[in-house]
Amino acid sequence: MTTHTGFPLPDLTTSLPRAPFHFGPKAAEEVSAVISGGPAGVFRQLLGDQESETTLLLARHVLEAFLTTAEPPELTGADAVAEWVAAARTAVKPAVAALRTADEETLDLILRRRAPLTLLGHCWLDTVSQAATQPSVIVNRLFGLHFVNQGEGVPQRGLLARRRRSLVDHGVQLPEIESAEFLELAEAGDLTALHGAFRLAVSRLPASFLPEVVGVHYAVTALGVDDLLLDAEPLVPESEARAVLADYLTLTEQSPTGADDRRRMLAAVDLVLQLEREHTVVLTELAAWHSGLSLDARVARIVARHAPFAGRQHRSVRVGERRLSDWFEEGQPDLAAFVGELRDARQLRPGRDGVSRFIRSIKFGGPMFGIFDEREAATLTAWAGAIEAGEPADLDFVPESAGREQAARWTETLRRAEPADVVLAEPEPGLDDRRFFHRIVNVEQFPHILPAARDRAEAGLAEAELLFTHGAEGRLTNAEYFDYTPEALMERVERIYWDKLVDPYQPLTEIPDRDEVIFQQSTYALGSLIDGSWAHRIGNLGRSHRRSDAMLSAIYADEMGRGDLAKNHITLIHQVLASMDMHLPHIRQPEFLDQGDLPDGLYGFSVHQVCLSLFPDTLYNEILGYNLGIEMFGLGEMRLHEIQKLRRHRLDASYEEAHLSIDNFSAGHARQSADIIVSYLDDVRRNSGEDAVQREWRRVWRGYASFAYFVEHQLVKRVREQGAPPAAPAEPGGLII
């Protein structure tokens, strides 16, 4: 047995080793196009696509552009960092307080401009917990904070839901942040989009930039600009964020890269303070500009918002000597000239009842009722009254330019950013499973593996469909296809539970010797070392609107101990292996490529699982089905037998015991996994009808079949052997999860 000493528990990692980032040449071309398209496109790419190497390369460019501008002071200890950030908060607080006292319309504009940052929440924590980082002490501490901010499994209690409710209370109603029109309706501007892009970039490469994640999280939390602006209490107080910061700094004292990690963390804090000061100044400039607008200028802003929809629908309407369609046929109409003409137009002249045709048209029953919102209608009515009262025109409109210069500088910095650690090359062909596994676990360093990972996932799913016909013969699963109804699904999973997992159980009368038990455990271990990974990207920012998202995210949180290192399943399996004198390197480490304790033949299962996890949007259905298979497999005969064997030889059984409990079919993960599928397909039925349910269901069930495919390898072998007679049930050579 090979002994390794490279990864003792607890995992005191403070940063992953610096390494090149490998991308395909096409990704570089696509990133150049995105950057050339402007800040809004950068923001949308980083937010909207979590499956491509283009997004990861763009994130690397954004981080290069922003982080290289930081110049942090040399500080020692969490209290010193806290004092630094507290001084910045004291300095910025009066400006933010002044913004809150703005008039209603100005405050609306301020909150909209800030909304992209407000509603990004703490996105940099979305995937900090992953196969490459668990079970790091600091990652678990951060994940614990993230779980609280996510509402502890109930999104309505979470940070983003609270912030959105607060915005609505202030009269700011915006679509979901991932909506195509979000930035436009928020009137975000280029600077806000770029600031948001930095936060999103950290969220896309959190394993590679762990020190920066720590710094960004503490600085944003402690500075609390959004809490100040919304006059809200933080969901996670500064004291808890400081405790995590203190833990991190203590860990760096024991790390060979500690000095560099502290510098990187402080640079991230410095950058956040710089950006938040900059954004506060811009919001102040925006408020001053808007507060100084004349009624004519405010009307011009309303006209500009509705102009794209006005011309074609009012071809016969004239304002002055021109048709309305002619005024707005160009992309940038002369608003001052238009408002000036409209002031004198017949539509604004009072009728016999003292009300102009225009104002009458926007009231209830008028042809333009509902076009303008309540605030816009009030502004237009006040403007008409001012004109009637003889107030002179003020058509010297000052264009809004808050943040334009700063945005131009950041845009140019981003355009020039050339990360020295980026390597452009096609992935190596013909990788064996060990090397392939290493690259997909470390996908932040090897994004060019993503197309091959997608092909590998699709191939596995397609191959598993052979069990749609033969799955009932499985010993521990039944992947035979059936038409979906909630009742049919529940009947199937109950039959699997009783007929295949529970009823066959009889205590072992003979226990294999210690070496055989250890060898059998080694055949399960690789799958256990990536426990939960299939779901680690579910429910990320912009993807937590379905009930099934939160439910599956909560299962992942349970697998990771909800931030409690002692309950983290990756910790448990390492403890089990250590009790067997197997001290493996971490799966992210290059040394793991040469480990000799775990057999090669079972890498395919873990490769398939990680490949699925990398495509949480396009393989969402399959992940739900796979989740059902893996959570049910934690129950019954095999688990009980393993516990019996381990206890007989006084080996650590905590991993098996934890799953036997948490996966229970009454209310645990197994039952929850079936409920998740029902919840998801209920949403599909409401949105798209019964035919769509069956299409979506087929994909869900092939996800379950892809799990069964690795468990029932004897059945698969027999099915492939044309004409082979049914074989007696055999011990599976694979997995216990």
CA–CA dist 732, 714 (Å, integer): 7
Distance CA 731, CA 714 (A): 8
DSSP character at residue 323: E
Whether residue 310 is predicted with pLDDT greater than 80 in this model: the reply is no
For residues 579 and 649, the answer to whether their CB atoms sit within 8 Å is no
Residue among 202, 214, 236 at smallest CA distance from 127: 202
Rg (CA), the chain: 30
Assign residue 231 a region: left if phi > 0, alpha if psi is -120 to 50, beta otherwise? left
Cα–Cα distances in Å, from 109 out to 32, 472, 627? 32, 61, 44
Q: Do you know the residue count of the chain? A: 737
- Cα gap 427→262, rounded to integer Å: 33
Task: Give the tens place of pLDDT for each residue, 383-393.
Answer: 888 998 899 99
Which of the listed ranges 286-300, 410-424, 637-651 does the model predict with the highest average pLDDT? 410-424
More reliable by pLDDT, 1 or 357:
357
Confidence check: pLDDT of 499 > 50: yes
> Which sign does the torsion angle of CA 188, 192, 198, 203 carry?
negative
Could you write out the three-class secondary structure of 656-704?
Answer: HHHHHHHCCCCCCHHHHHHHHHHHHHHHHHHHHCHHHHHHHHHHHHHHH
How confident is the model over 469-479, as pLDDT tens digits? 999 999 999 99
Rounded CA-CA distance 355/704 in Å is 67
- Alpha helices (H) along 569-615: 569-579, 603-613
Res 349 pLDDT > 70 = yes
Q: Is the pLDDT of residue 86 over 60?
A: yes
Answer positive or negative: Cα dihedral of 581, 602, 525, 454: positive
Q: Tell me what the mean pLDDT of segment 528-545 comes to.
A: 94
Q: Give the pLDDT of residue 63.
A: 98
Across the chain, what does the average pLDDT equal? Answer: 92
Arithmetic mean of pLDDT, 56-65 = 98
Burial degree of 689 (CB within 10 A; 0-12, 13-18, 19+): exposed
* Structure confidence at residue 374 as a pLDDT band (50, 70, 90): confident
Rounded mean pLDDT of 580-590? 94
Q: How far apart are CA 662 and CA 501, in angstroms?
A: 16
Q: How many whole angstroms separate alpha carbon 554 and alpha carbon 560?
A: 10
Helices (H), 187-257: 189-204, 210-223, 225-230, 238-252
Q: Identify the band that residue 334 occupies on the pLDDT scale cut at 50, 70 and 90.
A: confident
Q: Taking 90 as the threshold, does the pLDDT of residue 637 lie above it?
A: no
**Smallest Cα–Cα separation from 526: which of 587, 608, 594?**
587
- Residue 728 pLDDT > 80, yes or no? no
The amino acid sitting at 205 is L
Residue 483 — pLDDT band, cuts 50, 70, 90? very high
Number of neighbours of residue 259 by Cβ within 10 angstroms:
11
598 in Cβ contact with 584 (< 8 Å): yes
Of 600, 602, 622, 616, nearest to 539 (Cα)?
Answer: 616
Tokens 């979305």 correspond to 126
Q: Is the dihedral of CA 466, 469, 475, 479 positive or negative?
A: positive
Q: Which residues pair with 21 in a beta bridge?
A: 422
Would the pLDDT of 725 be above 60? no
Per mean pLDDT, which range of 305-314, 318-327, 397-406, 564-573 is the poorest? 305-314
Token look-up 């650590």 returns 652
Over the stretch 213-231, which tens digit does the pLDDT of each residue have? 999 999 999 999 999 999 9
pLDDT for res 361: 85
683 has pLDDT over 70: yes
- Six token digits for residue 555: 């299962």
User: Is it the case that residue 363 has pLDDT exceeding 90?
Assistant: no
Cα 144–560–544 angle (5° rounding)?
70
Beta strands in 218-317 (DSSP E): none
Q: What is the DSSP letter of 132?
A: T
In the chain, the domains with their CATH numbers are 21-292+405-424 (no CATH), 295-388 (no CATH), 455-720 (1.20.910)
Q: Which residues pair with 301 in a beta bridge?
A: none
331, pLDDT greater than 70:
no
pLDDT category of residue 666 using cuts at 50, 70 and 90: confident
Average pLDDT over residues 460-477: 96
Residue 312 confidence (pLDDT): 58
Sign of CA dihedral 264, 267, 272, 273: positive
Spatial distance between the Cα atoms of 401 and 483, rounded to a whole number of angstroms: 59
Q: Give percent above pLDDT 90 in the chain.
A: 78
Q: Is the pLDDT of residue 533 over 90?
A: yes
Q: What tokens appear for 2 in the block? A: 């090979």
